[in-house]
Structure 1
């Protein structure tokens, strides 16, 4: 059994190294893609501004483009607000379910402790509950 420990450590270190390399590569790629996307956005705004300036004047074209950007920003903010509201509601429901499960397990605890055969099962169930609660708390 102890002979497998160095092998497992080596395997785990390779996985972590690969994950770090992949994350670094993805981060660098996302930086370049973001720079190109911002440049494309600026070019599109410039082109739209020039096209609108020919038909309605430079100042009015700038206001039209600014108004469009404000509308898009408001749409994005409202979508994020809606998603956050939905997420908060789901979290409240999960917390209520967890509280109900905890109350039910506490209600059964005295009955389980009276039976000597069920004490190890009750301890294992309690440890499993605490581990699941700790794991769900670390994801948030």
Structure 2
């Protein structure tokens, strides 16, 4: 919540027109860089094909080797991404379970605090509000 206030204040204090111009310039530069990198990659693959064709003896065999290696790297990247996603989901589930346990503990103490002093009720409600706001801020 507090992060949004700072972001909103900085947005109001800056010139929106210059931000849009800077974003457009950056997008154009990144597009040009992407095209140049793809071109360099294509020429690099041509060089690798030529070198493999000389070593293997056939251009078709070299192309099949390049295609196989590329497919293998792509499958490995997908496997690594799946492992990372699974780990992040597990960590998020553990974090959510811990938050639920904290809220459950707070809710179980609430009836005894209701018979206590008003200051204790205020403290419990403040803690509950903190946990709820803290939960929504970390999901951003």
Superposition TM-score tier, normalisation by shorter sequence:
0.7 to 0.9
104, 123, 126: which one aligns with 2:128 = 126
Structure 1 runs not aligned, ≥5 long? 1-8
| CA separation of 1:15 and 1:94: change in aligned 2, threshold 3 A | farther
The TM-score with structure 2 as length reference comes to 0.78
Q: Give the corresponding residue for 1:100.
A: 101
Other-structure match for 1:117: 119
| Greater shift in the superposed pair: 19-28 or 47-56 | 19-28
Q: Look up the SS of the partner of 1:81 in the other structure.
A: helix
Root mean square deviation, CA, Å: 2.4
TM-score when normalising by structure 1: 0.78
The 5 A counterparts of 1:1-140 are 12-15=11-14, 17=16, 23-55=23-55, 56-115=57-116, 116-137=118-139, 139=140
Shift of 1:119: 1.7
Per the TM alignment, residue 89 of structure 1 is displaced from its structure 2 partner at its CA by 1.1
Q: Compared with structure 1, are the counterparts of its residues 11 and 83 closer, same or farther at alpha carbon in structure 2 (3 Å cutoff)?
A: closer
- Which protein has greater RCO, CA pairs closer than 8 Å, 6+ apart? 2
Deviations, residues 81-107 of structure 1 (Å, cap 9, x unaligned) = 111111111111111111111111111
